[in-house]
A = this chain, B = another copy of it.
Amino acid sequence: MSLKIYLAGPDVFLADARRVGMRKEQICREFGFEGLFPLDGDAAVAADHVKIFRANCLLMHRADIGVFNLTPFRGPSADPGTVFELGFMFALNKPVFGYTSSAADYLQRVHGVPVPGGEPNSRLWDCNGYAVEDFGLSDNLMVVQAIRDSGGSIAVVEEKVEPAGGAPLAAFEAFRACLKDISETYRGHR
């Protein structure tokens, strides 16, 4: 029996989501895993958003491991739907792994700065006056530490799309690196 991996991420919002999902499932098979891509794109399910939600929850219950595309989406952090699913699978005590095509850490993306004239080593703040976490992590503490505490890791392989220079959302290279990490972690368990 191959390990079942839930493939969480904002990939479902890509114009070619179905193709990206099939390619990721194919890469899973190359590593001897079974990939479970969320059903948002499935016509019978996608017509009803309550069904999408419940189908995704069922898939997460069925999966042995969660793999999360943490590439920033519409802001400095991972997609909130993806992060919800990370919390869900972590609470179920399933191992969770992450990957991203963005190499910057959270502090760099938010541009946290010290208060002018403030004490050394005091907290950093964004342009709206909200504190910025300064833990040297790639995203919000809860996201990163859940992955670490579950025994997982975050694979970072920087990719840039020309000419805009943004990190490509599908993050295929980091995805491969993540599956390689999982493969090494679970060697002999398949």
Contact = CB atoms under 8 A, between A and B. Distances in A.
A130 B14 contact: yes
A34 interface: no
B169 A84 contact: no
B53 A149 contact: yes
Contacts of A56: 142
Task: Tell me the number of copies of this protein.
Answer: 2
A86 interface: yes
A86 to B, nearest CB: 6
B84 A142 contact: yes
A141 B12 CA distance: 12
Interface stretch (A25-33, A88-96, A175-183): A88-96
A87 interface: yes
Interface residues of A, number: 52
Contact of A49 (B73, B75, B110, B135): B135
A33 to B, nearest CB: 22
Contact of A53 (B13, B50, B146): B146
Contact of A91 (B54, B91, B126, B130): B91
Interface in A144-169: 145-146, 149, 166, 169
Contacts of A53: 141-142, 145-146, 149
30 contacts: A10-B130, A14-B130, A15-B130, A49-B135, A49-B137, A52-B141, A53-B145, A56-B142, A73-B130, A74-B77, A74-B126, A74-B130, A75-B75, A75-B76, A78-B80, A79-B140, A80-B139, A80-B140, A80-B143, A81-B140, A81-B142, A81-B143, A84-B87, A84-B140, A85-B87, A87-B87, A87-B88, A88-B91, A90-B91, A91-B92
Which A-B residue pairs are the 5 nearest by beta carbons? A87-B87, A75-B75, A91-B91, A53-B145, A87-B88
